[in-house]
Each structure stands twice: as structure tokens, then as C-alpha cells.
Structure 1
């Protein structure tokens, strides 16, 4: 939310109230700004203003950042008619302006970042920024040195005109690989394995642009990012 903004917009966002209801409550005299009852919703307000609704102060919570250990079965969307979303796991107020910075497929687990800071998330998702995301995968077939070399140099994906950008590949064991990529093409890791004649069985993301998934978070748990973690994105 950008400030200054209309009182109507502020109330709708912070109190999570439909605009039609906001207008009714303002006309009823239930809203004050800096101690004064306000009967018009078009006045401009900022977070520094003391705004109350029905005697309770409303405060803008500002820019917020969370990490989530995503389990399988959840989609990275604000709403979905068929599946639960990652936002169903976040018990925080005023999430309607939030979005996922770097989505995961429904069957992929691991690190998801959620924020209402569009400029910050742009640093992660913009192809021009080339921020690495690191995944651990289990494969159907044994991973060969030849396949690792191909993945690191770049492979041609089905339906794509250009090969993938150079990646970082670290063999964990014969059927497990740590892969870091700086792009975000559709189903990219799965398609990269397919391009070298293999198949992903399980996929888990453990790092985004230097932010590590907190090992103390169980699947489905989340926590706010630390100031240091937030600053990593702009520093890298």
C-alpha cells in the first residue's frame, strides 16, 4: 500500500472490510482520524495518523516477509478452487496484498518466501537479476557425470528456443543431486532432468538467493525473516 492514501482504502485494507461496508461505517460516525470523527472517506491518511474504528485503533503493519516450509499438496497462489494454498498455512492479519516470491509446484516441497514488498520480490523473480535457487532432487535413474556436465553447461528444454543458463550441480549420491539454477522457467528442474534422459521423483527447495530454509521449521510451519535475511536479497 502506498501512502498517503484515501481513508476508505486504508480501512478496507487494514480492517479487511468491503468498500461498501467502509462507507456505511464512516457515515455512521464510527471512524476517527487523530481524535476527530470523520464522515468522508476521501481524505488522505498516512501510517502516522491515529485512526480508529468503533473505538479500536487500526495500524498499518508495513512491509512484512515470511519463509514457509511448504509441504506437498499446496499451491503457491492467493486462492484456488481445487487445492489449499500456502496462504492457508499463514496465520497473520492483512494478507490480501501478499504474494509468493518464487513459486513451487504443488508436489514440490521446501522454501517459499511470502511478502507484500513488490520491489523486494522483484529482485528474486526478475530474470535479469539471475538469483540462484537451490534444489535437492531424487531421480528415477542413476545420475551420471555426463548428465551433471550437461546440466551445468545448459540443456535444451522441450519447446524452448534457447538452452538453459549455466547451473551448479553437486552429486549427493547415485540418485540424489543438489542443483542451483538462476532462471524460473515452467517446471524447469523437472524439464532439465528430462532433457538428460532422467526423471525427478522428489523435489525440495532449500535456498533462494542466499536465504536458507530454516532447518527448525517442520513442513507447514513458517516464521518472519530476520533483518539480515531480508537484506541478503538486495546485497546479492
Structure 2
């Protein structure tokens, strides 16, 4: 963890204030004044500010149910015609600047998001080597042909790509609705996969990430259980 982030997580100081105390040699790491706010520190280091031993607050692990028309971002951003709120604005989470999202969803996509301030945990989930599955409920413009499930399982060549997608499981729920399970996260992958087989996604909702299933109403959140955190780490 960066030293300035460690100080913020251990005190009420803002990032700017943390940088200031670091630059003024008020922070000691294992007895040595460190003036580089980007220096990497670890929980086993002995870190002192003005003679007080710093202990970071426990990491937070959250499950969010993202509504449509909000951004997977910490800060709201203007669009061409309106201003979409951040998912953190909608949910009004305290100290949201300390959190980051574990993967993202498009503004028009709903469903499960994970948020944390534990960078190692999120990296474990998002790493290409993790094989973490994600399940989406997909609404389609027209019914799928019977051959599409086999194509998805074999891999799809997306426009602009040189390699097939990893095998994906397709389960038909109704003529125009399917469940799609992926283990990778290319840019707009779900929409591009169905476009590659001549269809169009009209609704997209993420129901599950790894062992964690969405179980709160839209616009709400809850803390993950210890078992859920461990299952993903």
C-alpha cells in the first residue's frame, strides 16, 4: 500500500493532508522518516505519525446492486445530454474515495458490483489467471439459433480481435433471454459476442461473480460476509 494511503486509512486525514505530513518528515517507517508519499509499506511495518503508532482501519468488502443510468466510477461524470451519478453517489457510502470497484459495468447495465479498499483482494479476482466466473442475464432483440450455444462454448472471434474468446456457457431461459457465464472480461464483451452471431443485446444484468450472488434490492448494498471474502480471495 502507498504510504499516503496508509496514513489516510489510519487517521482522519485527507490525501492532501497525508502528503503534507509525509513531506514534513512527521511520518516514520521502521524508525526512518520517509518523504515519498508513493513509497510502498506493508502491514508488518512499524509506522508512526507524531509519535503515535498508526493502525489502519479494517478493509471493507461490499456488494452493490447497480441501477441503470449510473456510472461504475467514484466520481460523477457528465455525458452529452445528462449527468450520470456515480454508483457511490446513489448508494451514499461513507469515505467512498477509499474504495474502488472490482470490475465495472456499463452505464446501462444493472446488477452486481463489488467494491473494496483491499487492492490485493481485487487483483486476485480481476487477474486474467483467476478464472473467476461472471453470470449475466441477457435480453436479446431476437431468439437465438440452436447452434449459438456451441459457438460460445468453442469461442467467438470478436471484431478487431485476433484470438477467440474463452469458452462461455450459454443457458436459454426463454426465446429472447439467456444466462451467459464468462471467465474473462474484454471490453463490451457480452454485447460484442452476441453481435458476432447476428443478435443485439437489449438488456444486461450481472447476477453473480464467483461464489457471490446478488441478493439486495436495486440501489442497495451490504457488507460481504467473511466466508464470501475468503471464497473470492
- 2:213 and 2:61 map into 1 onto residues whose CA distance is 14
Q: How much is the aligned-residue C-alpha RMSD, in angstroms?
A: 3.0
What displacement does 1:187 show?
A: 0.4
Pairing of 1:51-200 with structure 2 (within 5 A): 60-82=56-78, 83-200=84-201
Rounded Cα–Cα distance in structure 2 between residues aligned with 1:40 and 1:66: 35
- Unpaired runs of 5+ residues, structure 2, are 31-42, 79-83
Structure with greater Cα Rg: 1
Aligned residues of 1:14 and 1:94 also touching (Cα < 8 A): no
Provide closer, same or farther for how the CA distance between residues 233 and 193 of structure 1 changes in structure 2, counting only shifts above 3 A: same
The worse-fitting range, judged by mean Cα deviation, of 118-127 and 183-192 is 118-127
Closer, same or farther in 2 for the Cα pair 1:23/1:105, shift >3 Å?
closer
Runs of 4+ in 1 over 6 A off after TM superposition: 45-52
Worse-superposed segment, 176-185 or 15-24: 15-24
1:89, CA displacement in angstroms?
Answer: 3.0
What is the count of residue pairs matched by the alignment?
A: 211
In structure 2, what is the equivalent of residue 36 of structure 1? none
For residues 51-100 of structure 1, give each alpha carbon's deviation from its aligned partner in whole angstroms, at most 9, with x where no partner exists.
Answer: 99xxxxx9742211000000001111122421211121343433323111
Give the whole-Å Cα distance in 1 for the aligned partners of 2:88 and 2:161.
Answer: 32
Tell me the residue number matched to 2:231.
232
Which ranges of structure 1 fall in alignment gaps of 5 or more residues? 25-38, 53-57
8 Å Cα contact 1:169-1:179 kept in structure 2? yes
Q: Deviations over 1:112-135 (max 9, x none)?
A: 000111111112211121211000
Instruction: Give, in whole Å, the separation in 1 of the partners of 2:88 and 2:141.
Output: 31
TM-score normalised by L of structure 2: 0.79
Q: Does the C-alpha gap of structure 1 residues 18 and 120 become closer, same or farther in structure 2, counting only changes over 3 Å? A: closer
